[in-house]
Amino acid sequence: MEETPQANRLHIAIFGRRNAGKSSLINALTNQDLAVVSEVAGTTTDPVYKRMELLPIGPVVMIDTAGIDDVGELGSLRVKKTKEVLSRTDLAILVIDPEVGIDNYEKELLAEIKEREIPVIGVVNKEDKVKEINIRELAKELKIKLLQVSAITREGIEGLKKEIALKAPEKFEKPHIIGDMINPQDIVILVVPIDLAAPKGRLILPQVQTLRDILDNDGQAVVVKEGELKGALDSLNKEPKLVVTDSQVFKEVTADVPENIMLTGFSILFARYKGDLEILTKGVKGLDDLEIGNRVLIAESCTHHRTADDIGKVKIPRWLRQMVGGELEFEHVSGREFPDDLDNYDLIVQCGGCMTNRKEILYRLNKADSLGIPIINYGMLIAHVHGILDRALEPFPLAKRIWKQ
């Protein structure tokens, strides 16, 4: 909790062939030996994520990837993992080795980067070897600007940092969790259950971030457990603007909050902040169309400690089986895994994604939506299963309209 969470940092991914100098470029950019540099081609296997401060940009995550020209069975697995990184990349750097030049590897990767509308910077590393190729011709062929740098002598590194600052998308995360919904001095009640699933001695990230956003926007936050909510409402001499609750106690909280006070869930706030509330609202309809025997993918963005009554493994499958009145086929993925082929699923249930960035969640939502596969998140599923989605969407007029349609 002491530093900017990984999910809120600009994600810069470094791509290129094996031994193009990707790891040494990261070290040169950060002035530290963070990435292992080796003369042996193919040293970086799985993508490596490093949090750092990159001046003048601020907190970033640098992603060091395996070579796009890796070969063999293991090599193509690494290339696949490298390409998966694109789904969470805010800015791509393509490193070109002047000794080798370019080929289809670079062109195919660039085509994919452009298709996903990711800003890209081309870098010709090993400036001492640069005379071996014609940079202008290369830039023309790739249709991108190319910068010459040397990770060894650090020549051109400052220019690259400036280019990163220039190209970095301004809005790589949605600016507000709740701040745009409140005015200064508005009271917001946050309902935070302290149950077995709550981490010892601290609040979870979405709760802390919501609290911070209220304070940043000069609102007043009251934090209570669900059992104290009624007392808190009675003791306030002004009505709260909004009550935000953990989804798991939505039903109990709904009973305590008068109809004239807006009520929503952390997971619905984060569905909007992290992704697209409208796509998720459309996805809810897929829930109602679910039939016995259908296939459901449950995607969690981290590998958290699981409790006996785990939401993804136990509760959601139970609720869905009850809804359809029979068996369903469940598949679970966690962390950065997400299937390439979504055609086989009838419904995708995505977690709140508090540990990943907006780009990745949006990628998943858009991919499913473009294939016409309903995708929903935990909070909206819970709200719908308990019949309270209608109320939880009250603060969001567009989503509410889609829901009503």
| Secondary structure (3-state) at 308 | coil
- The reply on whether position 314 binds ligand SF4 by CB under 6 A is no
The CB density around residue 310, as the number of other CB atoms within 10 Å, is: 15
- Tell me if 398 contacts ligand SF4 by CB under 6 A: no
Contact in structure between 219 and 188 (CB atoms under 8 Å): yes
| CA diameter of the chain | 77
Is residue 351 part of the contact set for ligand SF4 (CB under 6 A)? Answer: yes
Candidates 43-51, 54-62, 189-197, 349-357: pick the segment binding ligand SF4 (CB under 6 A).
349-357
Q: Which residue is nearest to ligand SF4 (CB)?
A: 351
Strand order in the sheet with 347-350: 329-334, 295-300, 347-350, 375-377
Angle between helices 277-289 and 358-370 (to 10 degrees): 50
- Residue 355 within binding range of ligand SF4, rule CB under 6 A: yes
Site stretch for ligand SF4 (CB under 6 A), options 28-36, 112-120, 294-302, 387-395: 294-302
Q: Do the Cβ atoms of 270 and 177 come closer than 8 Å?
A: yes
**DSSP class per residue in 95-147:** EE-TTT---HHHHHHHHHHHHTT--EEEEE--GGGGGGS-HHHHHHHHTS-EE
Question: Under the criterion CB under 6 A, does residue 352 sit at the interface with ligand SF4?
Answer: yes
For ligand SF4, which stretch binds (CB under 6 A), given 11-19, 180-188, 295-303, 365-373?
295-303
Output the smallest distance, CB 195 to ligand SF4, in A.
15
- How is residue 172 annotated by DSSP? S
Least spacing, CB of residue 294 vs ligand SF4, in Å: 23
What size, in residues, is the chain?
Answer: 405
Nearer to ligand SF4, 280 or 354 (CB): 354
Burial of 360 (0-12, 13-18, 19+ CB in 10 A): buried
Distance (Å, whole) CA 241 – CA 199: 28
Binding of ligand SF4 by 246 (CB under 6 A): no
- With CB under 6 A as the contact rule, which of the stretches 55-63, 90-98, 296-304, 379-387 interacts with ligand SF4? 296-304
Query: Residue 333, interface with ligand SF4 (CB under 6 A)?
Result: no
Q: How many residues bind ligand SF4 (CB under 6 A)?
A: 9
Residue 275, interface with ligand SF4 (CB under 6 A)? no
Q: Read off φ and ψ for residue 71, nearest 5 degrees.
A: -120, 170
Q: In terms of CB distance, is 240 or 353 closer to ligand SF4?
A: 353
Using rule CB under 6 A, residue 67 touches ligand SF4:
no
| Per CB under 6 A, 304 contacts ligand SF4 | yes
Binding positions for ligand SF4, rule: CB under 6 A:
300-302, 304, 351-355
